[in-house]
Amino acid sequence: MEIRPDNLIYHELLGLKVEVEESTNPLMKGIRGVVVDETAKMLIIDSEGKEKKIPKHGNTFLFDLGDVCVRVNGDLLISRPELRIKNKFKKKFRIR
């Protein structure tokens, strides 16, 4: 399934280019690189050859999808990646 702005938070983030657009920690603002790992509460970004651990909470990320950049509130990403991805299918195939 293609990654689009409307479904980005339900996809695997590894390999995506990202920038910390806003942060509660001024030292993190502007960090950019490629997502190399993800935990429930952190994105690990390879920035200029160094791995930087960036908390999801309190940060706004700008993901580069090639033809469009998508702004995501990090609080929407808080959960284990496999559960966040799994939730996409629950929402899509919910039986009422």
* pLDDT, position 88: 56
pLDDT digits (tens, 9 = 90+) for 52-86: 999 999 999 999 999 999 999 999 999 888 887 77
pLDDT, tens only, 23-40: 999 999 999 999 999 999
pTM score, two decimals? Answer: 0.85
**Ramachandran assignment for 51, one of left (phi > 0), alpha (psi -120 to 50 degrees), beta (any other):** beta
pLDDT, residue 92, reads: 42
The CATH class for the domain spanning 8-92 reads: mainly beta
User: Is it the case that residue 87 has pLDDT exceeding 80?
Assistant: no
Q: Where are the domains of the chain?
A: 8-92
Torsion of the alpha carbons at 30, 46, 25 and 29, rounded to the nearest 10: 0
